[in-house]
């Protein structure tokens, strides 16, 4: 690594991002860092959702990508007067390990083709401590699909044959199991609820109502209920009784403040998806099948994970996002708002407008 170039491309924004990550994670990952003082990085997948929101608002996503590139770059280890090492302070080896751990996690979370390739190459060419080929294989199959990861690694000649075999052995499909039909939107739960409220009022004369409770086992205090999860990977998930239809997803995609949305469904082992914007289909499983041939469930889940929709990554940190309404609200019952909050979700209820 050229020290003059390194110092020149260092910016205050990069230091802000690194300091925020250190403030949040330094103590929590101390065991990983301590185990990474040699050639190999002791990697773990960190839940960076809240941190990314804060840092992106402060410095922008491109600066996070630059920090990832910097931490995974090929070359010699950073010297003690490197700006990133100085920003972290303390022991140089500890700072290098922390920088490498954050860089690998940022590359995985941002998951652009460029950053995923850099992550994979860093297992061989990056400055120590380097991520292992096994960790690379596992991350690539979660960032995209197992099929994509196998094809990518088979052509990655920067790894030795042994390293490539190690990476390929860690590639595993991770499609969500069970039947579901949901909508994902890259916005807040409140904005998804607002779009749903406008649509139901316009088309069905339903108006927003307090979440309330069921009057009896068979009688509800409201006509319809929906649940929207808190963001994961930047995406909120709309869950409805009986599932979200593709037609509803298409109509909601026309809400100008929702932007591009993704509809995902699984029924009887068959997985489907559509990426929708302004009522138009941008991508779907039919187009994916045209390029890949017969699809596996993980191919569809991988297309959604490529967008950053963490709900379709069974191995993501934390509890999996429930994709079925009954997991939030049991049949014949209603869940309190506080219970939904504990499940990182919000409830939206609607009733027929009264004259």
d(CA 308, CA 233): 6
Same domain, 105 and 230: no
Domain extent, residue 59, equals 3-131
Last residue of a domain, one of 96, 131, 166: 131
Strand pairing report for 261-267 and 180-185: antiparallel
Instruction: Please check whether residue 173 lies inside any domain of the structure.
Output: no
Last residue of a domain, one of 131, 164, 193: 131
Same domain, 114 and 45: yes
d(CA 318, CA 135): 19
DSSP 45: -
d(CA 99, CA 71): 6
Per the structure, the count of domains in the chain is 2
**CA-closest candidate to residue 6, choices 79, 75, 71, 82:** 82
Instruction: Please check whether residue 300 lies inside any domain of the structure.
Output: yes
CA 198 remoteness from chain centre: 28
In this prediction the pTM is: 0.89
**Using only C-alpha atoms, what is the Rg of the chain?**
23
Alpha helices in the chain (DSSP H): 3-8, 12-25, 30-34, 49-59, 61-72, 83-88, 92-110, 113-125, 133-143, 146-154, 161-169, 189-204, 246-252, 285-292, 297-306, 337-342
Instruction: Please check whether residue 187 lies inside any domain of the structure.
Output: yes
CA 321 remoteness from chain centre: 11
Instruction: Please check whether residue 164 lies inside any domain of the structure.
Output: no
Residue-wise pLDDT tens for the chain (355 aa)?
443 444 555 678 889 899 999 999 999 999 999 999 999 999 999 998 888 888 888 888 899 999 999 999 998 899 999 999 999 999 999 999 999 999 999 999 999 999 999 999 999 999 999 999 999 999 999 999 999 999 999 988 888 999 999 999 999 998 899 999 999 999 999 999 999 999 999 999 999 999 876 655 566 778 899 999 999 989 999 999 999 999 999 999 999 889 899 999 999 989 999 999 999 999 999 999 999 999 999 999 999 999 999 999 988 888 899 999 999 988 766 678 888 999 999 999 999 977 5
Instruction: Please check whether residue 61 lies inside any domain of the structure.
Output: yes
Same domain, 104 and 243: no
Instruction: Please check whether residue 221 lies inside any domain of the structure.
Output: yes
Last residue of a domain, one of 131, 157, 189: 131
């Amino acid at each position: 690594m050229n020290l003059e170039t390194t110092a020149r491309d260092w910016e205050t924004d990069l230091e802000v991002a690194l300091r925020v990550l250190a403030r949040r994670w330094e103590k929590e990952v101390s065991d990983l860092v301590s185990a990474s003082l040699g050639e190999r990085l002791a990697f773990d997948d960190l839940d960076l959702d809240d941190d990314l929101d804060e840092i992106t608002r402060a410095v922008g996503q491109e600066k996070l990508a630059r920090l990832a590139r910097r931490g995974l770059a090929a070359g010699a280890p950073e010297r003690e007067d490197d700006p990133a090492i100085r920003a972290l302070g303390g022991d140089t080896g500890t700072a290098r390990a922390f920088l490498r751990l954050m860089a690998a996690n940022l590359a995985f979370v941002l998951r652009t083709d460029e950053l995923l390739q850099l992550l994979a190459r860093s297992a061989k060419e990056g400055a120590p401590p380097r991520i292992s080929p096994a960790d690379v294989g596992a991350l690539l199959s979660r960032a995209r699909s197992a099929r994509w990861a196998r094809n990518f690694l088979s052509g990655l000649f920067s790894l030795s044959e042994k390293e490539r075999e190690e990476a390929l052995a860690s590639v595993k499909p991770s499609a969500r199991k069970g039947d579901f039909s949901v909508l994902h939107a890259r916005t807040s739960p409140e904005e998804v609820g607002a779009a749903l409220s406008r649509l139901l009022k316009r088309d069905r004369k339903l108006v927003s109502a307090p979440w309330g409770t069921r009057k009896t086992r068979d009688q509800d205090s409201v006509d319809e209920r929906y649940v929207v999860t808190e963001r994961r990977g930047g995406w909120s998930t709309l869950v409805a009784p009986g599932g979200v239809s593709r037609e509803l997803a298409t109509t909601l995609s026309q809400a100008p403040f929702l932007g591009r949305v993704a509809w995902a469904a699984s029924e009887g082992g068959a997985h489907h998806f559509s990426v929708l914007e302004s009522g138009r289909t941008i991508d779907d499983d039919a187009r994916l099948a045209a390029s890949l041939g017969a699809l596996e469930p993980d191919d569809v889940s991988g297309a959604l994970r490529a967008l950053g929709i963490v709900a379709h990554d069974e191995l993501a940190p934390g509890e999996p996002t429930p994709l079925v309404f009954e997991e939030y609200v049991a049949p014949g019952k209603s869940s309190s708002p506080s219970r939904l909050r504990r499940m990182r979700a919000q409830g939206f209820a609607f009733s027929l407008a009264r004259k």
